Copies of this chain bind each other. A is one copy, B any other.
Protein backbone atom coordinates (compact mmCIF):
# COMPACT_ATOMS: atom_id res chain seq x y z
CA UNK A 1 0.00 0.00 0.00
CA UNK A 2 1.33 3.42 -0.90
CA UNK A 3 0.31 6.92 0.15
CA UNK A 4 -2.13 7.26 -2.70
CA UNK A 5 -3.97 4.04 -1.82
CA UNK A 6 -7.26 3.95 0.01
CA UNK A 7 -7.17 1.87 3.18
CA UNK A 8 -9.02 -1.42 2.95
CA UNK A 9 -12.05 -1.55 5.19
CA UNK A 10 -15.06 -3.86 5.32
CA UNK A 11 -16.82 -1.22 3.21
CA UNK A 12 -14.56 -1.08 0.17
CA UNK A 13 -12.78 -4.43 0.32
CA UNK A 14 -13.48 -6.54 -2.75
CA UNK A 15 -14.42 -10.04 -1.61
CA UNK A 16 -15.53 -11.73 -4.83
CA UNK A 17 -12.50 -12.28 -7.09
CA UNK A 18 -10.09 -10.16 -5.00
CA UNK A 19 -7.44 -10.58 -7.72
CA UNK A 20 -9.41 -8.02 -9.74
CA UNK A 21 -9.33 -5.40 -6.97
CA UNK A 22 -7.48 -2.09 -7.02
CA UNK A 23 -7.21 0.46 -4.22
CA UNK A 24 -4.98 3.14 -5.72
CA UNK A 25 -6.31 6.56 -6.62
CA UNK A 26 -4.82 6.55 -10.14
CA UNK A 27 -6.76 3.46 -11.17
CA UNK A 28 -9.97 4.41 -9.41
CA UNK A 29 -9.99 8.00 -10.64
CA UNK A 30 -9.10 7.08 -14.24
CA UNK A 31 -12.27 4.95 -14.36
CA UNK A 32 -14.38 7.65 -12.75
CA UNK A 33 -13.00 10.30 -15.09
CA UNK A 34 -13.56 8.23 -18.24
CA UNK A 35 -17.14 7.36 -17.24
CA UNK A 36 -19.61 9.94 -18.50
CA UNK A 37 -22.11 9.07 -15.80
CA UNK A 38 -22.34 7.17 -12.56
CA UNK A 39 -25.01 5.69 -10.31
CA UNK A 40 -25.49 7.04 -6.81
CA UNK A 41 -26.76 4.61 -4.19
CA UNK A 42 -28.56 6.06 -1.18
CA UNK A 43 -31.18 5.04 1.36
CA UNK A 44 -34.46 6.79 2.05
CA UNK A 45 -36.57 5.37 4.87
CA UNK A 46 -35.10 1.92 4.45
CA UNK A 47 -35.53 1.87 0.67
CA UNK A 48 -32.36 1.80 -1.42
CA UNK A 49 -32.17 3.80 -4.63
CA UNK A 50 -29.58 3.75 -7.42
CA UNK A 51 -29.98 6.88 -9.52
CA UNK A 52 -27.97 7.77 -12.64
CA UNK A 53 -26.35 11.17 -12.83
CA UNK A 54 -23.31 12.93 -14.20
CA UNK A 55 -20.44 13.94 -12.02
CA UNK A 56 -17.23 15.89 -12.02
CA UNK A 57 -14.09 15.30 -9.94
CA UNK A 58 -11.67 17.76 -8.44
CA UNK A 59 -9.00 15.92 -6.47
CA UNK A 60 -10.73 13.86 -3.79
CA UNK A 61 -13.98 15.80 -4.22
CA UNK A 62 -16.91 14.83 -6.42
CA UNK A 63 -19.46 17.37 -7.56
CA UNK A 64 -23.05 16.73 -8.59
CA UNK A 65 -25.72 19.13 -9.74
CA UNK A 66 -29.39 19.16 -10.56
CA UNK A 67 -32.61 21.07 -10.30
CA UNK A 68 -33.82 22.37 -6.96
CA UNK A 69 -36.51 19.65 -6.89
CA UNK A 70 -34.15 16.73 -7.48
CA UNK A 71 -34.76 13.82 -5.11
CA UNK A 72 -31.19 12.68 -5.61
CA UNK A 73 -29.68 16.03 -4.67
CA UNK A 74 -32.09 16.52 -1.77
CA UNK A 75 -30.91 13.23 -0.29
CA UNK A 76 -27.26 13.68 -1.06
CA UNK A 77 -27.14 16.93 0.85
CA UNK A 78 -28.48 15.40 4.07
CA UNK A 79 -25.08 14.05 5.05
CA UNK A 80 -26.27 10.44 4.86
CA UNK A 81 -23.80 7.93 3.39
CA UNK A 82 -23.79 7.49 -0.38
CA UNK A 83 -22.13 5.04 -2.72
CA UNK A 84 -21.04 6.30 -6.13
CA UNK A 85 -20.35 3.69 -8.78
CA UNK A 86 -19.06 4.16 -12.32
CA UNK A 87 -18.82 1.21 -14.68
CA UNK A 88 -17.17 0.90 -18.09
CA UNK A 89 -18.02 -2.11 -20.24
CA UNK A 90 -14.99 -3.12 -22.29
CA UNK A 91 -16.08 -6.40 -23.81
CA UNK A 92 -18.14 -9.55 -23.72
CA UNK A 93 -16.11 -12.63 -22.85
CA UNK A 94 -17.46 -15.66 -24.67
CA UNK A 95 -16.17 -18.91 -23.26
CA UNK A 96 -16.88 -22.34 -24.67
CA UNK A 97 -18.81 -23.16 -21.50
CA UNK A 98 -21.71 -21.03 -20.24
CA UNK A 99 -20.09 -21.22 -16.80
CA UNK A 100 -16.99 -19.26 -17.85
CA UNK A 101 -18.75 -16.50 -19.76
CA UNK A 102 -17.87 -13.10 -18.35
CA UNK A 103 -17.51 -9.41 -19.08
CA UNK A 104 -14.40 -7.31 -19.40
CA UNK A 105 -15.11 -4.21 -17.39
CA UNK A 106 -13.68 -1.53 -15.15
CA UNK A 107 -15.77 -0.32 -12.24
CA UNK A 108 -15.04 2.16 -9.48
CA UNK A 109 -17.02 2.33 -6.25
CA UNK A 110 -16.60 5.31 -3.94
CA UNK A 111 -18.00 6.08 -0.51
CA UNK A 112 -18.64 9.38 1.16
CA UNK A 113 -21.27 11.75 2.47
CA UNK A 114 -22.77 14.67 0.66
CA UNK A 115 -22.91 18.33 1.65
CA UNK A 116 -24.81 21.14 -0.02
CA UNK A 117 -22.73 23.81 -1.75
CA UNK A 118 -24.15 27.25 -1.01
CA UNK A 119 -21.31 29.52 -2.05
CA UNK A 120 -21.88 30.95 -5.53
CA UNK A 121 -18.14 30.79 -6.21
CA UNK A 122 -17.93 27.08 -5.40
CA UNK A 123 -21.12 26.40 -7.37
CA UNK A 124 -19.57 28.16 -10.35
CA UNK A 125 -16.41 26.09 -9.95
CA UNK A 126 -18.40 22.85 -9.59
CA UNK A 127 -20.30 23.53 -12.81
CA UNK A 128 -17.03 24.16 -14.62
CA UNK A 129 -15.67 20.84 -13.32
CA UNK A 130 -18.84 18.94 -14.34
CA UNK A 131 -19.11 20.62 -17.76
CA UNK A 132 -15.49 19.90 -18.65
CA UNK A 133 -15.83 16.36 -17.33
CA UNK A 134 -18.52 15.64 -19.92
CA UNK A 135 -16.98 17.67 -22.77
CA UNK A 136 -13.41 18.85 -22.13
CA UNK A 137 -12.93 22.50 -23.13
CA UNK A 138 -16.68 23.20 -23.39
CA UNK A 139 -16.74 25.59 -20.42
CA UNK A 140 -14.52 28.13 -22.16
CA UNK A 141 -16.95 28.40 -25.09
CA UNK A 142 -20.38 28.25 -23.49
CA UNK A 143 -22.28 31.11 -21.89
CA UNK A 144 -21.50 30.98 -18.18
CA UNK A 145 -24.25 30.65 -15.56
CA UNK A 146 -25.86 33.83 -14.29
CA UNK A 147 -26.45 34.41 -10.59
CA UNK A 148 -30.12 33.57 -11.15
CA UNK A 149 -29.21 30.30 -12.88
CA UNK A 150 -26.79 29.44 -10.08
CA UNK A 151 -29.62 30.04 -7.65
CA UNK A 152 -31.86 27.61 -9.53
CA UNK A 153 -29.17 24.91 -9.50
CA UNK A 154 -28.53 22.60 -6.56
CA UNK A 155 -24.90 21.54 -6.16
CA UNK A 156 -23.63 18.86 -3.82
CA UNK A 157 -20.07 17.96 -2.98
CA UNK A 158 -18.96 14.56 -1.73
CA UNK A 159 -15.55 14.19 -0.15
CA UNK A 160 -14.36 10.73 -1.10
CA UNK A 161 -13.61 8.79 2.07
CA UNK A 162 -13.02 5.38 0.71
CA UNK A 163 -13.00 3.59 -2.63
CA UNK A 164 -12.01 0.58 -4.67
CA UNK A 165 -12.00 -0.52 -8.28
CA UNK A 166 -12.53 -3.87 -9.94
CA UNK A 167 -11.18 -4.73 -13.37
CA UNK A 168 -11.36 -7.77 -15.62
CA UNK A 169 -9.34 -7.97 -18.83
CA UNK A 170 -8.25 -10.66 -21.25
CA UNK A 171 -9.60 -13.74 -22.99
CA UNK A 172 -11.98 -16.34 -21.59
CA UNK A 173 -10.60 -18.92 -19.15
CA UNK A 174 -12.17 -22.24 -20.02
CA UNK A 175 -11.41 -25.55 -18.37
CA UNK A 176 -8.71 -27.38 -20.39
CA UNK A 177 -11.08 -30.29 -21.09
CA UNK A 178 -13.32 -27.83 -23.01
CA UNK A 179 -10.61 -26.40 -25.26
CA UNK A 180 -11.34 -28.76 -28.14
CA UNK A 181 -15.10 -28.12 -28.22
CA UNK A 182 -16.31 -26.80 -31.60
CA UNK A 183 -17.52 -23.55 -30.01
CA UNK A 184 -16.14 -20.12 -30.90
CA UNK A 185 -14.52 -18.43 -27.92
CA UNK A 186 -13.02 -15.01 -27.53
CA UNK A 187 -13.77 -11.43 -26.65
CA UNK A 188 -16.13 -9.03 -28.37
CA UNK A 189 -14.72 -5.59 -27.45
CA UNK A 190 -17.21 -2.84 -26.67
CA UNK A 191 -16.87 0.90 -26.43
CA UNK A 192 -18.97 4.02 -26.07
CA UNK A 193 -18.56 5.86 -29.36
CA UNK A 194 -19.68 9.23 -30.62
CA UNK A 195 -21.52 9.47 -33.94
CA UNK A 196 -21.81 12.55 -36.18
CA UNK A 197 -22.81 15.72 -34.31
CA UNK A 198 -26.33 16.99 -35.02
CA UNK A 199 -26.54 20.79 -35.05
CA UNK A 200 -29.42 22.45 -33.23
CA UNK A 201 -32.09 23.30 -35.84
CA UNK A 202 -32.02 26.87 -34.50
CA UNK A 203 -28.23 27.20 -34.79
CA UNK A 204 -27.13 30.55 -36.25
CA UNK A 205 -25.32 30.31 -39.58
CA UNK A 206 -21.55 30.12 -39.89
CA UNK A 207 -20.77 28.44 -36.58
CA UNK A 208 -18.41 25.50 -37.14
CA UNK A 209 -18.49 22.30 -35.08
CA UNK A 210 -15.77 22.72 -32.45
CA UNK A 211 -12.92 20.18 -32.53
CA UNK A 212 -13.75 19.02 -29.00
CA UNK A 213 -17.09 17.85 -30.46
CA UNK A 214 -15.98 16.56 -33.88
CA UNK A 215 -13.00 14.68 -32.39
CA UNK A 216 -14.79 13.63 -29.21
CA UNK A 217 -13.51 10.45 -27.65
CA UNK A 218 -14.34 8.95 -24.30
CA UNK A 219 -11.53 6.44 -24.25
CA UNK A 220 -8.73 6.83 -21.82
CA UNK A 221 -5.50 8.07 -23.46
Is A160 positioned at the interface, with any CB of B under 8 Å from its CB? no
Interchain CB contact under 8 A, A184 and B203? yes
Is A199 positioned at the interface, with any CB of B under 8 Å from its CB? yes
User: How distant is A89 from chain B, measured CB to nearest CB, in Å?
Assistant: 6
Q: How long is the Cα–Cα vector from A189 to B135 in the complex, in angstroms?
A: 13
Q: How long is the Cα–Cα vector from A208 to B51 in the complex, in angstroms?
A: 41
Interchain CB contact under 8 A, B131 and A98? yes
Q: Which of A147-206 contact B (CB under 8 A)?
A: 149, 152-153, 171-172, 174, 178-204
| Chain B residues, Cβ within 8 Å of A193 | 190-193
CB within 8 Å of B: which residues of A?
11, 15-17, 36-37, 39-43, 46-52, 54, 66-67, 69-72, 81-85, 87, 89, 92, 94-99, 101, 103, 105, 107, 109, 111, 127, 131, 134-135, 138-139, 141-146, 149, 152-153, 171-172, 174, 178-204, 207-210, 213, 216, 218
User: How distant is A64 from chain B, measured CB to nearest CB, in Å?
Assistant: 13
Interchain CB contact under 8 A, B207 and A188? no
Report the copy number of this chain in the oligomer. 2
| Chain B residues, Cβ within 8 Å of A83 | 47-50
- Provide a sorted-by-A list of 17 A–B residue pairs whose CB atoms are within 8 angstroms: A37-B89, A37-B105, A39-B41, A39-B87, A40-B50, A48-B49, A52-B105, A94-B135, A95-B142, A99-B153, A171-B200, A184-B203, A185-B200, A186-B199, A186-B203, A187-B197, A190-B218
| Chain B residues, Cβ within 8 Å of A171 | 198, 200-202
